[in-house]
Amino acid sequence: MLQTSDDIRLLNEKIQHAAGFVSRINDELSKVIVGQHGMVERLLIGLLSNGHVLLEGVPGLAKTLSIKSLAQSIRAHFSRIQFTPDLLPADVIGTMIYNQARNEFVVRKGPVFANFILADEINRAPAKVQSALLEAMQERQVTIGDTTYRLDEPFLVLATQNPIEQEGTYPLPEAQVDRFMLKVIVGYPSKAEEQQIIRQNTVGGPVPTINAVVSTSEIVQARELVRQVYVDEKIENYILDIVFATRFPEQYNLSRLKPLIGFGGSPRASINLALAAKANAFLNQRGYVVPEDVRGICRDVLRHRIGLTYEAEAESITSEMIIDDILKGVNVP
């Protein structure tokens, strides 16, 4: 839909007014989180664009703490599910139990009935349990017995997984990984940040508390504004070129990548890249998307949607390397 400069100016003003809650959330998170600005920003992008987020990193990088703190800063229902090898699907979505006093079966809803779900160490549970989340994540509903229940908005699954342990873990099926809008790789803090972390956790004093500073209605309103962010046709074509280059690299003078890519991004990749770019523009208090919004979030949207061939794995080629080559090869509008 074409928009005039006046429409975009008005949208800019709305976004600048509505985006005030972002600084309030950042202020609360900074009480307990040192560094990790990229991870926090991507959690906010997932929140604003109604997309689930998968965080991957070694233990001790504040993944769980960041998710829990974000949920605490919002006046919403938070639920944590610790995934273990003996977890059952009913432990996630709920089940029917027999009420002897009423002589009937009643529904006992599981922890998935919340606004924010922390799926901790999601790759520790078997595939049957992981797939129990699929309907909730994609359809925003859960079926127990013969009844389907709608989940309250906002509904967001924020999952963590440990990439280094293989024993006792179950790799996520491709169908479920694709349900996550973003896969964020969490890195180590800098030396100065780690020094601050040491001081924060070894010096006595009151433990900082996270206050609820945002309502769910503000989040829903912000999501509506994110949807209105203007994407020019040139930016749309740029997004399409990036995704199509993962499928047909030879069409973009990237023939060297063809033997390395088993499969490319699906249309869900294009949708999520556009939505994430809009949310990125919102965080920068703009009512329109620029190429840097797309480039800045591209790796997190695509890294789990590109299948690597055995040849790529043998040469230690990662999906990030392929994405970087695509971003260099595709013309920027």
Q: Which of 166, 201, 219 is the last residue of a domain?
A: 219
Structure tokens at 222: 């912000």
Q: Into how many domains does the chain fold?
A: 2
Confidence of residue 165 (pLDDT cuts 50, 70, 90): low
pLDDT for 275 equals: 94
Residue 9 lies in a domain: no
145 in the same domain as 38: yes
DSSP β-ladder status, 52-56 and 180-185: parallel
One DSSP character per residue, 26-48 reads HHHHTTT--S-HHHHHHHHHHHH
Question: E strands of the chain, at which residues?
Answer: 52-56, 74-75, 78-82, 94-99, 104-109, 116-120, 141-144, 147-150, 156-161, 180-185, 214-215, 261-263, 307-308
pLDDT for 247 equals: 92
Confidence of residue 121 (pLDDT cuts 50, 70, 90): confident
CA angle, corner 293, sides to 330 and 298, nearest 5?
Answer: 55
Burial of 237 (0-12, 13-18, 19+ CB in 10 A): middle
Lowest mean pLDDT among 78-87, 152-161, 173-182: 173-182
260: domain CATH number? Answer: 1.10.8.80
Greater confidence (58 vs 223) lies with 223
Stretch 319-324: mean pLDDT, rounded?
Answer: 91
Residue 236 lies in a domain: yes
Tens of pLDDT along 264-287?
888 999 999 999 999 999 998 888
Residue 13 lies in a domain: no
37 in the same domain as 84: yes
pLDDT for 167 equals: 58
237 in the same domain as 109: no
pLDDT for 246 equals: 93
250 in the same domain as 187: no
Residue 8 lies in a domain: no
Tens of pLDDT along 229-266?
989 999 999 999 999 999 999 998 989 999 999 888 88
171 in the same domain as 58: yes
Say how far apart CA 300 and CA 207 lie, in whole Å: 33
116: domain CATH number? Answer: 3.40.50.300
Residue 125 lies in a domain: yes
pLDDT for 244 equals: 94
pLDDT for 200 equals: 79
178 in the same domain as 38: yes
291 in the same domain as 163: no
For residue 2, pLDDT beyond 60: no
Question: E strands of 57-193, at which residues?
Answer: 74-75, 78-82, 94-99, 104-109, 116-120, 141-144, 147-150, 156-161, 180-185
Tens of pLDDT along 46-67?
989 988 998 888 777 777 788 8
91 in the same domain as 24: yes
170 in the same domain as 26: yes
The domain containing residue 171 runs over which residues?
20-193+213-219
Percent of the chain scored above 90 by pLDDT? 20
Residue 206 lies in a domain: no
pTM, to two decimals? 0.86
Cα four-point dihedral sign 163, 310, 174, 45: positive
137 in the same domain as 32: yes
Average model confidence (pLDDT) across the chain: 85
For residue 143, pLDDT beyond 70: yes
110 in the same domain as 235: no
Assess contact for 118 and 55: CB atoms under 8 A: no
Residue 4 lies in a domain: no
pLDDT for 168 equals: 59
242 in the same domain as 115: no
Question: E strands of 131-288, at which residues?
Answer: 141-144, 147-150, 156-161, 180-185, 214-215, 261-263
Greater confidence (134 vs 118) lies with 118
Residue 14 lies in a domain: no
